Amino acid sequence: MSKTILAVDDSGSLRQMLSFSLKAAGYGVIEAVDGEDGLNKAKQQKVDLVLTDQNMPGMDGLSLIKALRAMKNYQNVPILMLTTESGDDMKALGKAAGASGWLVKPFDPARLTEVIKKLIG
Amino acid sequence: MTIDMSQFYQVFFDEADELLAEMEKLLLALDVSAPDSEDLNAIFRAAHSIKGGAATFAFNDITEVTHMLESLLDRIRKGEMALTPEHVDAFLVSKDVLTMQMDGHHHGSSVDQDAVDNVCQRLKALSQGIVADAPAAAAAPAMPPEPVQSAAAPVADADGNFSFRIELPEVPQRDVDALAAELGLLGTISQEILDDKRVVFTLATPETQDNIVAICSFVLDPDDLRITHAGASQTAAQGDSGYGIFEPEKVDAASQPAAATVESPKPGQPATAASAPAAEAKNLGRRATDKEGSNQESSSIRVGVEKVDQLINLVGELVITQAMIEQRIGALDPLHHERLLNSASQLARNTRDLQEAVMSIRMMPMDYVFSRFPRMVRDLAGKLGKKVEFVTRGAATELDKGLIERIVDPLTHLVRNSVDHGIEMPEKRRASGKNESGKLTLSAAHQGGNIVIEVSDDGGGLSRDRILAKAKQQGLPVSDTMPDLDVWQLIFAPGFSTAEVVTDVSGRGVGMDVVKRNITAMGGTVEIRSVPGAGTTIAISLPLTLAILDGMSVKVGEEVYILPLGYVIESLQPVAIDVKEIAGEGKVVKVREEYLPLIPLYQIFAIEPNFTDPSQGIIVILESDGKKAALLVDSLVGQQQVVVKNLESNFRKVAGISGATILGDGGVSLILDVSALLRSSHQLYADPIYS
């Protein structure tokens, strides 16, 4: 069975691109428009990996990561943080929140699938 | 894996358009002295999202502008810099530039590079705390520039250095060396080699990205360069390829100092949040659970208009089919077919509901139109040196998409007129005891099956004397005793303008007639109310939709025609004595002491009628553009809603006919173009319109 990825980003074009690239690479994709939406969808269905933007209206990426990590079945699910800020501060915050890794926006679809392959094969 | 990115462009453009519009709206509503932090955040997010998308799709020019915008906004929202009117002006100009750039990518329209450079300069100057000598700065009382400390942007380190990560394309080693030497002059440089043998420089410099690009372009094509801000310079030396995976076991204290202080991961428990954040997260989790009831599904979907129109068309057909069924079963015995009749009435109700629901898809809030005006009024008022307070009401009122797009131009014209001619200069307003700042109100409201849109100002009002004088000068038929309402309507005459000075804003005398014509073409009417010294209100009344029409069916001979109900005043059977023949000009009929031209419908379409004598048939009194006439028909059939089918696209344009519809019995009926009928009524006999 193909692995499912939850892609959380408030930008529709980015979601579409994430979705397209990931599906092309053979993953199932669930989209969410912000942290809260992402959290709800993660509760409805256990996913194999979460990709989340940081800067979103309502619940941001860091809060989502923290909330997911607080859930029993998301303790070990890889969570990748999409960020436009490549500074260490954000990475440190992401790590503290429980992110498994980060990916700088803008990214190349090939790079995206490369890092995801590393995490969930 | 290669992916054609261009397939995502459309979504990005749509999204960016929305974000830019949202940004402008928020900017205009912003209280400069005490901005709402939520609004600032939202504006920042808009810039941020556009930047993200633009960077992803490699629209580098847009990325560059949004980046500056974003970093400036970031500092303002974090309270490192106070918001000034100059900021708002610069942001608005940036929005325009971005729209232009977006159009450039989207439609291939030309991009004014000077304007782009200009706005970049302005944003840069502002981020350094310098108040740019922008044109608007003259009017507004400039706030003192921010203290110099804020000039150190968050991305710069203590020495004012920015850190750039410069990814080179594959170039010969000597070029790399040459570049390294050149760039080294700007600051501290280090280099590393990526897996694919390409070279990445990390440069800490006070210079701007532009300068770096300029230097590199001596050696290579700047388009092949990838330059990114790498945060404060001391963090620079990470050889990353755009992503990373945290590996707690191998934390390198030197390269990730911050991480070590925030979290102390236990071996064997990788990537799990430390207990404190976890507790916090539980709270968050609970809060989110509380809200779970309100489903966060995305609230809208994008659908092409043609799909919606097809749906509307199909529903229209369904309505007709339903009407046919209803007519057929009308002849059945209710006792024997009770169940069938019940089902049929159920079908009627469901069809009607379906029709309403489908029509509502095409409905759009007036906000779509209104939202473009605050900016226009602001710019216009600034240009003219006037003070205008702009208020909109009823922006949520819905109107058919087809109509809403066509109302934009007439409304733009009216709003512009109000600012230019309606509202007086501040001195004049003060002298006449009014508030210096004029008030311009744009409102929309439903009234029955119509929407009424009003443009209202509290300016000087229309000048009866000047309009009359001008009308006489142009040879229009006027008299000094005309009622006000008729006088105001004169400004809709072609080529009519009373403005003493033709400004570049308005007053060229084209326009009001076009406004009137456009609105009439949409089946609407325009009315003017004006009181000298107190202001002018122009009220536009439009039908809610063009696709369905309330009609009155009339019969002449064997033909059934539909009259749009909006034009029908009354119908009656005249007594023979009230019908008079005027030599060479046809007949008139006296209705309540008023003589109206009589238009025999059978004559217009050359039909054999049942009655040629008005006192045996029925006359329907019609009114359009303030003109009345009596239409002679054989009989009235009834009043019904009809689905308008375009005749032009299915057949060809026919004078006197505005469309067609399919009746319940399957027959086709033509919808009369009442305005055209009335226009031609005075010359009917000399020049029949069916020729």
Read off the pLDDT of residues B159-196 as tens digits, 9 standing for 90 and up: 556 677 777 777 777 777 777 777 776 777 777 777 67
A69-107 pLDDT, tens digit per residue, is: 988 888 889 998 887 766 677 778 888 888 888 888 777
B619 alpha-carbon distance from chain centroid? 43
Positions of chain B with pLDDT under 50: 131-156, 158, 231-240, 249-297, 500-510, 683-691
CB of B405 closer than 8 Å to CB of B418: no
A-chain residues within 8 Å CB-CB of B257? Answer: 88
- DSSP code at position B424: P
Q: Is some CB atom of chain B closer than 8 A to the CB atom of A34? A: yes
On whether ipTM exceeds 0.85, the answer is no
Superfamily for the B366-543 domain: Histidine kinase-like ATPase, C-terminal domain (3.30.565.10)
- Residues in chain A, total: 121
How far, in Å, are B548, B563, B590, B658, B665 from residue B633 at the CA level? 24, 11, 17, 18, 21
B194 touches chain A (CB under 8 A): no
Q: Where are the alpha helices (DSSP H) in B385-463?
A: 401-417, 426-431
Q: What residue segments make up the domains of chain B, in order of their start?
A: 5-149, 162-235, 305-364, 366-543, 548-683
Interface test with A, best of B296, B297, B298, B302 (most A CBs within 10 A): B296
Q: What is the 3-state secondary structure (H, E, C) of B96-154?
A: HHHHHHHHHHHHCCCCCHHHHHHHHHHHHHHHCCCCCCCHHHHCCCCCCCCCHHHHCCC
B162-235 is a CATH 3.40.50.620 domain: no
Q: Measured between CB atoms, which of A87, A97, A109 is closest to B1? A: A109
What is d(CA B400, CA B543) in angstroms, rounded to the nearest whole number? 9
Pairing of strands A101-104, A79-83: parallel
Per-residue pLDDT reduced to its tens digit, A20-55: 888 888 889 999 988 899 999 998 888 999 999 888
Query: In this predicted structure, what is the pLDDT of residue B439?
Result: 92
Token pair, residue B619, equals 């006359």
* CB-based contact B56 A17, cutoff 8 Å: yes
Query: Hey, is the C-beta of B251 within 8 angstroms of any chain A C-beta?
Result: no
CA distance B123 to B69: 7
Residue B448, pLDDT score? 63
Quickly name the fold that domain B305-364 has: Helix Hairpins (1.10.287)
Q: Do domains B305-364 and B548-683 have the same CATH topology?
A: no
- Cβ contact B45–A91 (<8 Å): no
Question: For an interface test with A, which of B63, B77, B196, B245 has the most A Cβ atoms less than 10 Å from its Cβ?
Answer: B245
Best mutation target among A13, A14, A15 (most B Cβ atoms within 10 Å) is A13
Instruction: State the CATH architecture for B548-683.
Output: Beta Barrel (2.40)
pLDDT of residue B625: 63
| Interatomic CA distance for residues B481 and B230, integer angstroms | 77
Alpha-carbon span B188 to B555, nearest angstrom = 91
The predicted pLDDT at position B515 comes to: 83
For chain A, the domains span 4-120
Query: What pLDDT, on a 0 to 100 scale, did the predictor assign at position B545?
Result: 66
Per-residue confidence (pLDDT) for residue B626, from 0 to 100: 65
Judge whether B641 and B651 are in contact, CB under 8 Å: no
- Distant-in-sequence, close-in-space partners of A45: CB < 8 Å, separation ≥ 6: A4, A30
Q: Does A78 touch chain B (CB under 8 A)?
A: yes
For B128, the token pair is 């350094």
**CATH number at A4-120:** 3.40.50.2300
Q: Put residue B139 in one of left, alpha, beta given phi > 0 → left and psi -120 to 50 → alpha.
A: alpha
C-beta neighbour count of B660 within 10 angstroms: 19
Class of domain B5-149: mainly alpha
**CB distance from B53 to chain A under 8 Å?**
yes
